């Protein structure tokens, strides 16, 4: 197959053209056109992916848990998954805190630039702070309460409530394990059929990925640049040390720590892993949403990397909601950077004390664009730094969001690979491109 027909290449071309179009649109004042005629195609593409997320997660988790044959196996795989998720997130935070303390990017921002940025993003910062106050008022156990749905249909109606769906599906799966097999089989078969159909729907949606990605990138660039590219470049220039630090940290984690973990704890070839995950990473970058990327992550992990359905259907949906290495790394840098810029000196002990808050915040962050902003405000307030400081980083947040989402989805797939390998559930990867695109079956 010629290179330009491969999914990776098609998505990359879409991204590149989207970037060029977005820049042109800002420079020539076509923003209204892009907004009205191009951006909606990006929204349709992301909506299509989100549309199948709930049935996919529900059916896959039900099959995943029910096929674990007994509760002992469930707790073994579940325990292993959560432990590795915790370790990788912890390492990400340590990388972030180390970099921000060594480089100290906050010390390089001149006073006038700081005030200028703070005043131009004050409105946005205030509205995010308002959201943070609402969640803080509900008390420290609220994240736990948020996990348990009181009505499954209501939870299923909101994609940002994925943790509730995960909770229900695991509970339901455990229920299945307690019922006589003969009685449980129809519901397992039904879930299996839904799952198989959904995976084929992912193939269909991915046929439109290059166009969807073009529209997403074009509209993101237009939104970031507005009609005044010069002032955006000025903002990025002022915050360049911070942005570069976040990107370097994410690169160390994504292309250093995670592959090392694969090498040490799995039989997966690293090149094969990144080749199989390429389209997933490109989609995560373009959409800034790990929830929207989940259907493709599951499809590629099973069909290309050879991870068994039993493991991927349990580990990946859980990971897309609770495991966010990129978000944790970014937040650790962002919070200390804001404190440094505003002149608050955070002792090392104070910084170590927020590690738990950073881990919990990455668990509670929804896999949507900008999902972690409200959480960052809560952490800022908990260490006595004014929430308005978030205004310093809002202007460049979308760019960093694209990068951290890539790390988030890569982390989930690495953990799924390690768990599958340790359980003897990793088949030989199949990277042939035949599976890309729609397969018609009778």
- Interface residues with ligand ASP (CB under 6 A)? 288-290, 324, 327, 365, 367-372, 401, 404-405, 408
How far apart, in whole angstroms, are the C-alpha atoms of residue 215 and residue 391?
27
Q: How far is the CB of 362 from ligand ASP (least distance, A)?
A: 8
**Residue 24 or residue 399: which is nearer to ligand ASP going by CB?**
399
CB of 198 to ligand ASP, least distance (A): 20
> Could you give the CA distance from residue 176 to residue 183 in angstroms, rounded to a whole number?
9
CA distances from 135 to 131, 141, 361 (A): 7, 11, 12
User: What are the structure tokens assigned to 374, written together?
Assistant: 């409200």
Matching residue, tokens 């004050």: 122
CA distances from 367 to 3, 292, 325, 372 (A): 32, 8, 12, 9
Beta carbon of residue 221, minimum distance to ligand ASP (angstroms, whole number): 17
Q: Which is nearer to ligand ASP, 359 or 368 (CB)?
A: 368
Q: Among 301, 338, 343, which residue's Cα sits nearest to residue 435?
A: 301
Provide, for the chain, the percentages of residues in helix, strand and coil under a 3-state DSSP scheme, each rounded to the nearest 5: 80, 0, 20
Structure tokens at 66: 């029910």
Which of 287/312 has CB closer to ligand ASP?
A: 287
What six digits make up the tokens of 333?
């840098």
Q: How far is the CB of 329 from ligand ASP (least distance, A)?
A: 10
Query: Least distance (Å) from ligand ASP to the CB of residue 438?
Result: 27
Smallest separation, CB 258 to ligand ASP (Å): 15
Please report how close the Cβ of residue 360 comes to ligand ASP at its closest, in angstroms.
Answer: 14
Residue 179 is classified by DSSP as S
> Which of residues 68 and 415 has its CB atom nearest to ligand ASP in the complex?
415
- Looking at beta carbons only, is 49 or 68 nearer to ligand ASP? 49
Residue 343 · residue 115 · CB < 8 Å: no
Which of 26, 362 has the CB closer to ligand ASP? 362
Angle, vertex CA 414, rays to CA 412 and CA 420, nearest 5 = 100
209/368 with CB nearer ligand ASP? 368
User: From CA 100, how far away is CA 187, in angstroms rounded?
Assistant: 51
DSSP for residue 254: I
Q: Report the nearest approach of ligand ASP to the CB of residue 327 (Å).
A: 4
Token pair recorded at residue 425: 């559930």
State both tokens at 94. 């340590």
Residue closer to ligand ASP by CB (options 25, 287) is 287
Contact 42, 216 (CB under 8 A): yes
CB of 228 to ligand ASP, least distance (A): 25
Nearer to ligand ASP by Cβ, of 77 and 354: the residue is 354
Angle at 435 between CA 162 and CA 255, to 5 degrees: 60
């Amino acid at each position: 197959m010629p290179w330009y027909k491969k999914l990776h290449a098609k998505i990359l071309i879409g991204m590149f053209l989207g970037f060029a179009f977005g820049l042109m649109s800002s420079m020539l004042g076509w923003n209204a056109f892009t907004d009205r005629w191009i951006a909606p195609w990006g929204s349709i593409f992301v909506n299509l992916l989100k549309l199948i997320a709930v049935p996919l997660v529900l059916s896959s988790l039900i099959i995943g848990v029910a096929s674990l044959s007994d509760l002992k196996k469930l707790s073994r795989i579940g325990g292993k998954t959560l432990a590795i998720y915790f370790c990788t997130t912890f390492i990400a935070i340590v990388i972030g805190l180390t970099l921000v303390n060594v480089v100290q990017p906050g010390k390089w921002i001149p006073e006038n630039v700081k005030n200028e940025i703070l005043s131009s993003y004050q409105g946005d910062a205030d509205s995010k702070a308002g959201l943070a106050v609402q969640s803080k008022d509900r008390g420290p156990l609220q994240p736990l309460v948020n996990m348990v749905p009181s009505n499954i249909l209501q939870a299923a109606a909101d994609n940002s409530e994925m943790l509730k769906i995960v909770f229900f599906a695991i509970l339901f799966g455990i229920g299945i394990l307690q019922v006589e097999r003969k009685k449980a089989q129809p519901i397992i078969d039904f879930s299996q059929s839904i799952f198989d159909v959904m995976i084929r729907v992912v193939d269909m949606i991915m046929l439109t990925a290059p166009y969807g990605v073009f529209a997403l990138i074009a509209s993101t660039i237009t939104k970031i640049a507005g009609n005044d590219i010069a002032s955006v470049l000025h903002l990025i220039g002022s915050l360049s040390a911070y942005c570069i630090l976040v990107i370097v940290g994410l690169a160390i984690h994504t292309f250093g720590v995670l592959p090392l973990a694969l090498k040490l704890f799995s039989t997966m070839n690293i090149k094969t892993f990144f080749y199989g995950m390429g389209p997933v990473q490109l989609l995560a970058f373009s959409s800034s949403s790990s929830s929207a990327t989940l259907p493709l992550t599951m499809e590629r992990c099973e069909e290309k990397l050879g991870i068994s359905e039993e493991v991927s259907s349990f580990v990946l949906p859980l990971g897309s909601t609770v495991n966010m290495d990129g978000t944790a790394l970014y937040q650790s840098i962002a919070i200390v950077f804001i404190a440094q810029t505003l002149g608050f000196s955070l002792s090392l002990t104070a910084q170590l004390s927020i590690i738990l808050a950073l881990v919990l915040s990455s668990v509670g962050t929804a896999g949507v664009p900008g999902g972690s902003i409200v959480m960052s405000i809560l952490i800022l307030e908990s260490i006595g730094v004014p929430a308005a400081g978030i205004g310093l980083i809002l202007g460049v947040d979308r760019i960093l969001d694209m990068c951290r989402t890539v790390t988030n989805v890569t982390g989930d797939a690495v953990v799924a690979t390690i768990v599958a390998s340790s359980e003897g559930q990793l088949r030989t990867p199949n990277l042939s491109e035949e599976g890309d695109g729609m397969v018609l079956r009778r």
